[in-house]
Amino acid sequence: MIWAILKRDVVLLLGGGRRGGALLPILFFLAVAMLYPFAVGPDAQLLARTGGGVVWVAALLAAILPLDRLVEPDLEAGFFDQWALRGLAEEWICAIRILAHWLCFAVPLMLATPIAAVLLGLSGEQLLTLELGLLAGTPGLAALGVAVAAVTAGLRGGAALAGLLILPLAVPLLIFGAGSLSTGGEGGLALTGAASLVLVALSPFAAGAALRAARE
């Protein structure tokens, strides 16, 4: 049963659905990485020093794009009520959706990061730290995305509000994640992972509570 729901979530989020697929956030992410050198000029040193941070900001902005199709369409179509009727806790459904969202958003993002690194002239070492940081941080970002999408589902202008809500909440991930680049140390990565785990642990409950409250 869990498997069937995860399978449907992944297929729906990857694409084929009515609101674009997983490709759009990735293209957006690469577009930001491509625009940055145009804006600051072709100074290789400057790019190499700041490029990692730009990748993090781009990843955060790209995470806003899929928010409106994470929860709202299924809530509208009555899927959540049908799951509740079968005794499936909203928390479970949201945990599954976090995993699906991570698979469909973070994995392609990490695959696209080497391309962004080339565009920004990052070194191999920086790329490795960047990828490790994203690996540690994106689960938290995915969890945050589902929680925020659940809170704003059904609201008028919910999509815009979701974007505004997720950015400040993602600041710890950004600080530790991008910070690990300048120090090159493991401390930043560990803190990113810790912040990420807290978000992963709390988000299913926040999202579940939001969905139940929306029923009343």
Q: Give me the sign of the Cα torsion angle 117, 122, 126, 128.
A: positive
Read off the amino acid at residue 37.
P
Q: Which stretch binds another protein (CB under 8 A): 85-93, 99-107, 108-116, 157-165?
A: 85-93
- Whether 134 contacts 106, CB under 8 Å: yes
Residue 47, C-beta contacts closer than 8 angstroms, at least 6 positions apart:
36, 37, 40, 120, 121
Task: Pick the closest to residue 63 from 152, 124, 148 (CA basis).
Answer: 148
Closer CB to another protein, 75 or 103, in the complex? 75
Check: CB of residue 203 under 8 Å from CB of residue 148: no
Cα–Cα distance for residue pair 142/160, rounded to 1 Å = 17
Identify which range of 4-12, 51-59, 133-141, 145-153 contacts another protein by CB under 8 A.
Answer: 4-12
Question: In this structure, are residues 61 and 95 in contact, taking their beta carbons and an 8 Å threshold?
Answer: no
Identity (one letter) of the amino acid at 148? V
Nearer to another protein (CB atom), residue 28 or residue 79: 79
Interface with another protein, residue 6, by CB under 8 A: no
Residue appearing with tokens 């997720």: 166
Q: Which of 42, 45, 85, 168 binds another protein (CB under 8 A)?
A: 85
Shortest distance in whole angstroms from residue 214 CB to another protein: 11
Question: What number of chain residues touch another protein (CB under 8 A)?
Answer: 20
Q: Does 187 bind another protein (CB under 8 A)?
A: no
Q: Which is nearer to another protein, 7 or 43 (CB)?
A: 7
Which of 39, 42, 86, 124 touches another protein by CB under 8 A?
A: 86
Point out which span in 15-23, 29-37, 101-109, 201-209 binds another protein (CB under 8 A).
Answer: 15-23
CB of 24 to another protein, least distance (A): 17
Binding site for another protein (CB under 8 A): 1, 4-5, 8, 12, 16-18, 76-79, 81-82, 84-87, 215-216
